[in-house]
Structure 1
Amino acid sequence: MSNTVDNPFFARVWTVMSAHETDAIRALRRENLAGLSGRVLEVGAGTGTNFEFYPDTVTEVVAVEPERRLAEVARRAAAAAPVPVTVSTDTVEQYMASGSEPFDAVVCSLVLCSVESPEGVLRELHSHLRPGGELRYLEHIASSGPRARLQKVADATFWPRLLGNCHTHRDTEQSIKGVGFSVSAARHEWTMPKWVPLPVSEFAIGRAVKQS
């Protein structure tokens, strides 16, 4: 596996998009991190958009972001964060393979759509959580009806190529349950009106627990 991720087009696009997120998405980010404590692993940190929302009960955040251009922006966000944040340019697979103490929580925000093997990554995340630890997720997900058809067409054509390997029609919550997490709280939110023909309008936000 390559130890670099080089996607200059997506890095430019995402840097702009993440700097202009809607209030609705920022509110979901804040909610997704509320109540966390201890040592946290954030997967696919992007430009560090989450960092400002970590509560002061978190003692350390290890944030992995393998796209070096995004990681550079994330490091600037880490310097201003209210909690200690370390940004690594490893992929999540490489970071976990290097060995680490168990984490109290894992945060996934708009990233499980882009990894090559969501189930494989989730299994590794499950194994690196302490018993009772939480996975906090905020992910766009597979919709139904006409939007599902739109997602499938987008995934098979231009969308992953342009947007960092993003696949919009993934049943992420089923994958989370399938690797052994117990979902304790979850709901779906629309961040744009349902009539807007975008494949990434529906989000799932939830908490999943590693049973002891």
Structure 2
Amino acid sequence: MPRLVKLSRLGSGGSMFFLVERLYDILMASTEKSCLREWRRDLLQEVHGDVLEIGAGTGANIEFYPESVTHLVLSEPEKIMRDQLRIKAGRSVLRDITFSSASAEKVEGDDGSFDFVVTTLVCCSVVDLETVLEQIHRVLRPGGSLVFLEHVAAERGSARRRWQDRMTPLWRRLAGNCHFNREIENALCLAGFKISQIKRESMRTSMPLVRPTIRGIAVKICS
């Protein structure tokens, strides 16, 4: 059940908070092997320049950042995960890596300071998605891009979507504010992004209500 694992740490807590921090990599291993590692590799291969990753967790993306990344900022609010993140970062080919403990709603960085922002399995559990996307838009340079991989709401009217809507109020309390039914693609467009690449696919070996995913690139539109 990978979304419980990922998002108990980013929300307001939850009954499994301390457990999942320590066992995250083990609990996610099957889903990483079945699809996530391949998706991460493909998404990050063209990333370059100054990059911010929000909700970096234990560092599942680190090995896939190419040497064209000149400065990488890894933002992770939970100390236990951040400690694991530092260990993995120490094995990276990248030499300029810094760390931040800021929340997703309070991104550290000047306006227009990053070429890319990366979020992977983060947006479903942030407290205020609109604010998070506003912050990402703010710190991106003109024409900069958000690289995203998120689990999302199923198609409206489908049986899966009905179950997502029914179970989200309970799941949020158990799993650190994780929403089964967030319409993240629509939120990106409303926040001033143009989606230039998108793929929709099932997250294999995960629990059924979190299987619908989107991944791709959203470009900052300048007003």
| TM bucket, shorter chain | 0.7 to 0.9
- When residues 86 and 23 of structure 1 are mapped into structure 2, their CA distance, relative to the original with a 3 A threshold, is farther
Query: Aligned to 1:91, which of 80, 84, 103?
Result: 103
Residue deviations 1:104-147 (CA, integer Å, cap 9, x gap): 00001000011011111101110110001000000000002111
Does the 8 Å contact 1:65/1:71 carry over to 2? yes
Residue of structure 2 equivalent to 1:32:
43
Is 1:211 the counterpart of 2:221? The answer is yes
Is 1:168 the counterpart of 2:180? The answer is yes
Does the 8 Å contact 2:112/2:138 carry over to 1? no
C-alpha displacement of 1:15: 3.5
Is 1:52 the counterpart of 2:63? The answer is yes
3-state SS of 1:93 partner: coil
Name the TM-score, length of structure 1 as normaliser.
Answer: 0.88
Name the TM-score, length of structure 2 as normaliser.
Answer: 0.84
Structure 2, gaps ≥5 residues long: 1-10
**Aligned length in residues:** 205
C-alpha displacement of 1:68: 1.2
Superposition map of 1:1-212 within 5 A: 7-20=17-30, 21-83=32-94, 84-96=96-108, 99=110, 102-144=113-155, 145-157=158-170, 159-192=171-204, 198-212=208-222
Q: How far apart, in 1, do the equivalents of 2:20 and 2:172 lie?
A: 10
3-state SS of 1:123 partner: helix
Q: How far apart, in 2, do the equivalents of 1:76 and 1:5 lie?
A: 26
Structure 1, gaps ≥5 residues long: none
Return the letter of the residue paired with 2:218: A
| Higher alpha-carbon deviation: 131-140 or 66-75 | 66-75
Matched-pair identity in %: 37
C-alpha displacement of 1:88: 1.7
Give the root-mean-square deviation of aligned CA atoms: 2.2
| Higher alpha-carbon deviation: 59-68 or 15-24 | 15-24
Return the letter of the residue paired with 2:217: R
Does the 8 Å contact 2:104/2:126 carry over to 1? no
Q: How far apart, in 2, do the equivalents of 1:16 and 1:79 lie?
A: 20
- When residues 9 and 100 of structure 1 are mapped into structure 2, their CA distance, relative to the original with a 3 A threshold, is farther
- When residues 51 and 188 of structure 1 are mapped into structure 2, their CA distance, relative to the original with a 3 A threshold, is same
C-alpha displacement of 1:89: 1.7
